[in-house]
Homo-oligomer: A and B are copies of this chain.
Amino acid sequence: MESYTYLLLLAIILASTKAFGLLTEKVHLPQVVGALLAGIIMGPSGFGVLQSTDFLVKTAEIGVIMLMFTAGIDTELEELKKTGARAFAIAVLGVIVPLALCGSLYFVFFLKELTFYNLLKAAFVGSVFSATSVGITVETLNEMGKLKTTTGTTLLSAALIDDILGIIVLSVLTGLSGGMASGGGEQAAAGSLDLGAVGFVLLRIVLFFVFVLVVGFVAKKFFEHLSEEHWHSRRIAVWALAFALIMSYCAEEFFGVADITGAYFAGLILCNVSRSRQFVAKKFTVASYMVFTPVFFASVGMKTNLTSMNSQIFVFALCLIVAAILSKIIGCGGAGKLVGMTNHQALIVGIGMVARSEVALMVAQKGINAGMIDPVILPAIVLSVIASALSTPILLKTAVHRGPELE
């Protein structure tokens, strides 16, 4: 007789993440915060009702794949094409500055010794804070009637490019860390750098992008053909999910880049099939919120052991919160200034990119799984993600109100 505990665990996760999510929403915080809280409170560092199991780990991973696929398929390619160098510059600095600043902070606190391996670890922590979650900003600007301004649309485009750049950075980092792990951990830890191995990893990453182009071409044709007649039938959504899963698998197993990279590109490919796009995205969203993403958020919360925070990690967390917020304002705002925005516009763009959410959590999870991020700093990361998400609407409203009418 098998045990049925997994049914109970799943029920508790679904009920509690939703309940806490609604509570945080009541006090104008994103539901994600509530879902994380549910995991923290019901998990091992709280009441201990929930514990991680193989089934939950796999369910959470599928949730991550669904989230990334949805991010990909929701990309507004038309917006992206219209976007000039401005948004691109903002996105680039918006990835580099947080990577450098948050990574350096981690280096200074925990690593200290300058080796290639340590740099890679620091970069992984930094890359967590590269990924913008523009949803909160969109909501806030929309509420204030400022979304359709030039600043608003530039911000949106920059966030889209930011996603793609972040994914590329993650691919390179995952590839390098996987390459170093297979190339011998001690050697890697000792910091010696095998240029051949690095070259091989970079080759695999390039091959992955070639793979994406080739498969993308074929898959786009297939789904376009399918959507001529069946754009609103179940088969297209089911096959899209199969496609997302296969791309995730191939990315991870054959190219050594993260599965979420594969899922994201699967979504990006299918966002070109305009007829079925919305239908597919909708079905993914339902399957996602009914089962999979609550498990992901709860599982991140469950891993977030707040009680294990010592004073060093606590101070690190405070500094990381400041770095996470400032790095986007400096990076994106600075780029905005460079491409000729006014101070006020540049500030809005910078603040608008501050919020991080699920993508940052996914990258952190990837880093932990790959052995590149020490789980002990997860509470600091989670707190910074939450703080960045919370401060965005407050800072944004203040900045918009204090300046001249936004264009």
A57–B283 alpha-carbon span in the complex (Å): 23
Contacting residues of chain A (233-263) with chain B, CB-CB under 8 angstroms: 234-235, 237-239, 241-243, 245-246, 248-249, 252-253, 259
CB contacts (< 8 Å) of A11 on chain B: these are 241-243, 245-246, 249
CB distance from A169 to the nearest CB of B (A): 20
Contacting residues of chain A (201-245) with chain B, CB-CB under 8 angstroms: 234-235, 237-239, 241-243, 245
Contact call B18/A238, Cβ cutoff below 8 A: yes
With contacts A1-B369, A55-B58, A235-B18 taken as known, whether A8 is within 8 angstroms of B245 at the C-beta atoms is yes
A369–B114 alpha-carbon span in the complex (Å): 57
CB distance from A275 to the nearest CB of B (A): 19
Contacting residues of chain A (260-289) with chain B, CB-CB under 8 angstroms: 283-284, 286-287, 289
CB distance from A314 to the nearest CB of B (A): 31
A289–B237 alpha-carbon span in the complex (Å): 9
Check: A54 CB closer than 8 A to any chain B CB.
Answer: yes
Check: A125 CB closer than 8 A to any chain B CB.
Answer: no
Contact call A248/B7, Cβ cutoff below 8 A: yes
CB distance from A40 to the nearest CB of B (A): 19
Contact call B286/A14, Cβ cutoff below 8 A: no
Contact call B286/A286, Cβ cutoff below 8 A: yes
Check: A22 CB closer than 8 A to any chain B CB.
Answer: yes
Chain A positions 98 through 109: 1 when the CB is less than 8 Å from some CB of chain B, otherwise 0: 000000000000
Check: A10 CB closer than 8 A to any chain B CB.
Answer: yes
CB distance from A10 to the nearest CB of B (A): 6
Please give the count of copies of this chain that the complex contains.
2
Residue ID in chain B nearest A233 by CB atoms: B22
A239–B12 alpha-carbon span in the complex (Å): 10
With contacts A8-B246, A55-B55 taken as known, whether A18 is within 8 angstroms of B239 at the C-beta atoms is yes
Contacting residues of chain A (290-311) with chain B, CB-CB under 8 angstroms: 290-291, 294
CB distance from A286 to the nearest CB of B (A): 4
A243–B10 alpha-carbon span in the complex (Å): 11
Check: A6 CB closer than 8 A to any chain B CB.
Answer: yes
Check: A389 CB closer than 8 A to any chain B CB.
Answer: no
Check: A4 CB closer than 8 A to any chain B CB.
Answer: yes
CB distance from A91 to the nearest CB of B (A): 29
A106–B283 alpha-carbon span in the complex (Å): 43
Check: A386 CB closer than 8 A to any chain B CB.
Answer: no
CB distance from A43 to the nearest CB of B (A): 17
CB contacts (< 8 Å) of A54 on chain B: these are 54-55
* Among candidates B14, B234, B238, residue contacting A245 with C-beta atoms closer than 8 Å: B14
Contact call A290/B287, Cβ cutoff below 8 A: yes
Contact call A65/B290, Cβ cutoff below 8 A: no
CB distance from A3 to the nearest CB of B (A): 9
Contact call B238/A14, Cβ cutoff below 8 A: yes
Add 16 more A-B contacts to A11-B243, A284-B290 (CB < 8 A): A1-B181, A2-B369, A4-B249, A8-B249, A10-B62, A11-B241, A12-B242, A14-B238, A14-B239, A14-B241, A18-B235, A18-B238, A241-B290, A283-B286, A283-B290, A286-B287
Task: Write 18 A-B pairs (CB below 8 A) sorted by A numbering.
Answer: A1-B181, A1-B369, A4-B249, A4-B252, A5-B249, A7-B245, A7-B248, A11-B242, A11-B243, A12-B242, A14-B238, A15-B242, A18-B238, A18-B239, A234-B289, A283-B290, A286-B287, A287-B287
Q: Which 10 A-B pairs have the closest CB atoms?
A: A11-B245, A287-B290, A15-B242, A14-B242, A286-B286, A11-B242, A7-B249, A11-B246, A8-B249, A7-B245
